[in-house]
Amino acid sequence: MTKPVKRTSDKFKLGIATWRFYLVLGVIASIYLGLMARAAYIQIIEPDMLKKQGDMRSLRVSASDVQRGSIVDRNGYELAISVPVETVWANPKVVLKNRVLAKTEYWKALAEVLGQDISTLTNRIVSHPNKQFIYLERKVSPAIANYIAKLKIPGIHLRKESKRFYPTGEISAHLVGFTNVDDKGIEGVERVYDDILTGKGGATRFRKDAKGNKIEILSVKKAQQPKNVVLSIDQRIQAIAYKELKGAVSAFKATSGSVVVTNVHTGEILAMVNSPSYNPNNRKNVAIHRFRNRAITDVYEPGSTMKPLTVLTGLNFGSIKADTIIDTNPGWMRLGGRRVSDPINRGKLSITDILVHSSNMGTSKIALSVPKDYLLGAFFDVGFGEDTGTGLIGESSGIMHDRPRWSKFELATLSWGAGLAITPVQLARLYTAIANGGVKIPLSIVKKTPATKSVIEPERVFSAQSTKDVRAMLEKVVNEHVQKAKVAGYRVGGKTGTGIKAVAGGYGNDYVGLFAGIAPIEKPELVVVVVINEPGGDLYEGAQVAAPVFSRVMKGALQVLNIAPSVHVSAINHSAKDHVKKGRHNNV
């Protein structure tokens, strides 16, 4: 006989077991479905996050930096080089985690060797607790780096970098310029040719395993090596020019000065110096105005150095000839109610005498003998009102007015260098054109190669005969009027200039002494321009302050370049020596 109650209980237990089974099965299925959905979401819909996390743990980039290219002179002498140094950096997280700040003796030693205040140094760590990299000191010397390495302070590290060094110091500072702490050129040639000098570093992307071993190289980018820049300057001549200029600025108590030396045939600048200068290796506490290259930025009224240009214009136009006589009586004249005059009445003067005596009357009459447009065109043709082609940043184009109306008085004063303002390098370009036979060529601070020389298209601005006549006149100027500009053994020609500094409303009491000259006259090779700005003593004229500097710089440059002495001068010197010897023999 069956027991119904018992059967009911069995069915109930079986129902409970089935429900639990399906519940567990459902949970397990849900888990797997959830995992599959999550995997599908991560793998298909949004895989970038995990890839990024994986790359952060395994992907590495090894950079290969390149040092900045060198700047050298035309003979390969180094003017700017990069030297290996170390940079000190800290990991604040590690420092704070290891409680390194408590070890005050370490920080005292570190602060002392870095020349910093200990509280300032430690505050930089405390104020960046979450950072893993901060600079403590950029580009320290190897000796300081070795000392810091021996301290073995946890969280303090060294990093290899390079530092710019300028072997010639203040001699070539204005031309070469300098870089900032990140090796970016910010002045001079360093800035102009920054892209060429910088190059591009290489990089290798690879994966590493948990132990740090390379397991896959993904890509390799080769470094692009920087190029060196070869300047046109000759450091030997640069050093001579700077020494003589610095001595003159000091001796005459001048505010500043500049010297430019050019190669007559190529337009290459062999020297460009300014005083006062600065040490590019240590620029702390240097006034900003001392960084500017005055030879290309500062403009002056060139004074009587413009008179050869006026004479050239008259010769080229045909209103005068080399043997023309001009009557300057009575030594003065009025133009539009204003007076033009010489210090004394010099009467009738030849064209040569007009330059020798620097006659304002003579050059004024020459200027008024040619059409206004022709005269003004000559001043523009030689490069006034434009840059000289150096490519240097900050070069001034000077002040040369291009207006339709000019009075006769303005044209007269323009003929002797008033009413315009030019840079020393523009003056050098003018005399380079006079020296090479009347051809204007761009000036260059980069050494020219046969390829670059052929690219230049020279522009003839004066006839060869006119410039030859003017060079002969300039030689007489030196021989008869500017004895201090003579160079022993060489025939030299040139012209002085004394400009009055302009102030608001007119002219002040400060002067600028100038001299521009050529040598050797029979076969010109070099042009030297000297500017002495605001001499403070009793001597201020170009013949007194600038001509002696010209003589010494020109002599040194001719000797450095091994240019043969002038035959005519050598013959005279030998004849004089023979005469002295005969005299001594007769006395005996």
- Whether residue 14 is contained in a domain is answered as no
Domain identity same for 170 and 297: no
Give the pLDDT band of residue 59 (cuts 50, 70, 90).
low
pLDDT tens profile 487-530 = 999 999 999 999 888 776 667 788 999 999 999 999 999 999 99
Query: For the stretch 518-535, what's the b/e string if a residue is b when 16 or more beta carbons lie within 10 angstroms of its beta carbon?
Result: bbbbeebbbbbbbbbbbb
Catalytic status, residue 275: no
- Whether residue 208 is contained in a domain is answered as no
Domain identity same for 181 and 261: no
Instruction: Please identify, among 199, 216, 244, the residue that sits at the C-terminal boundary of a domain.
Output: 199
Tell me the mean pLDDT in the region 48-52: 66
Q: Which two tokens stand for residue 347?
A: 């009467």
Domain identity same for 270 and 129: no
Domain identity same for 115 and 241: no
Q: How far is CA 91 from CA 64, 79, 94, 126, 245, in A?
A: 22, 37, 6, 11, 51
Q: What is the pLDDT of residue 381?
A: 94
- Whether residue 334 is contained in a domain is answered as yes
- Model confidence pTM above 0.75: yes
The pLDDT of residue 363 is above 60: yes
Q: Catalytic: which of 172, 275, 304, 551?
A: 304
The pLDDT of residue 587 is above 50: no
- Whether residue 288 is contained in a domain is answered as no
Contact 277, 173 (CB under 8 A): yes
Across 145-154, 338-347, 440-449, least confident range: 145-154
Compute the residue count for the chain.
588
pLDDT tens profile 187-210 = 999 999 999 998 776 666 767 766
The pLDDT of residue 578 is above 70: no
More confident residue, 214 or 79: 79
Q: What is the pLDDT of residue 322?
A: 94
Instruction: Please identify, among 199, 222, 244, the residue that sits at the C-terminal boundary of a domain.
Output: 199
Helices 360-368, 307-317: inter-axial angle, 10-degree rounding: 30
Q: What is the pLDDT of residue 581?
A: 45
The pLDDT of residue 273 is above 50: yes
Q: What is the pLDDT of residue 584?
A: 38
CB atoms within 10 A of CB 324: 15
If phi > 0 it is left, if psi is from -120 to 50 it is alpha, else beta; for residue 489 that is left
Domain identity same for 175 and 274: no
Residue 77 burial (10 A CB sphere; 0-12, 13-18, 19+): middle
Closest among 445, 430, 308 to 381, alpha carbons compared:
430
Give the pLDDT band of residue 51 (cuts 50, 70, 90).
low
In 450-561, DSSP assigns E strands to 459-460, 493-503, 506-519, 526-533
Domain identity same for 316 and 462: yes
Closest among 163, 16, 155 to 83, alpha carbons compared:
163
Tell me the mean pLDDT in the region 209-223: 67
Bridge pairing between strands 78-90 and 134-140 = antiparallel
pLDDT tens profile 245-267 = 999 999 999 999 999 999 999 99
Indicate which CATH number applies to the domain containing 315: 3.40.710.10
Q: What is the pLDDT of residue 574?
A: 45
Domain identity same for 264 and 161: no
Name the helix (H) or strand (E) containing 249: helix 235-251
- Whether residue 213 is contained in a domain is answered as no
Q: What is the pLDDT of residue 582?
A: 45
More confident residue, 108 or 4: 108
* Spatial distance between the Cα atoms of 70 and 291, rounded to a whole number of angstroms: 21
Tell me the mean pLDDT in the region 139-153: 82
- Whether residue 44 is contained in a domain is answered as no
pLDDT tens profile 403-458 = 889 999 999 999 999 989 999 999 999 999 999 999 999 999 999 887 665 556 78
Helices 118-126, 104-114: inter-axial angle, 10-degree rounding: 110
Number of independent structural domains in the chain: 2
More confident residue, 269 or 89: 269
* Spatial distance between the Cα atoms of 221 and 201, rounded to a whole number of angstroms: 9
Boundaries of domain holding 92: 63-199
Phi and psi for 394 in degrees, rounded to 5? 95, 0
Domain identity same for 185 and 310: no
53: Cβ–Cβ under 8 A, 6 or more apart, which residues? Answer: none
Domain identity same for 337 and 422: yes
Residue 1 burial (10 A CB sphere; 0-12, 13-18, 19+): exposed
Domain identity same for 248 and 137: no
- Whether residue 210 is contained in a domain is answered as no
Indicate which CATH number applies to the domain containing 132: 3.90.1310.10
Q: How far is CA 327 from CA 271, 344, 347, in A?
A: 41, 13, 6
What is the Rg, in whole angstroms, of the alpha carbon atoms belonging to the chain? 39
Domain identity same for 517 and 402: yes
Contact 431, 518 (CB under 8 A): yes
pLDDT tens profile 62-74 = 655 677 899 999 9
Q: What is the pLDDT of residue 154?
A: 84
Domain identity same for 268 and 194: no
Whether residue 154 has a cis bond before it, omega within 30° of 0: no
Instruction: Please identify, among 178, 199, 220, the residue that sits at the C-terminal boundary of a domain.
Output: 199
Q: What is the mean pLDDT of the chain?
A: 86
Q: What is the pLDDT of residue 569?
A: 59
- Whether residue 392 is contained in a domain is answered as yes
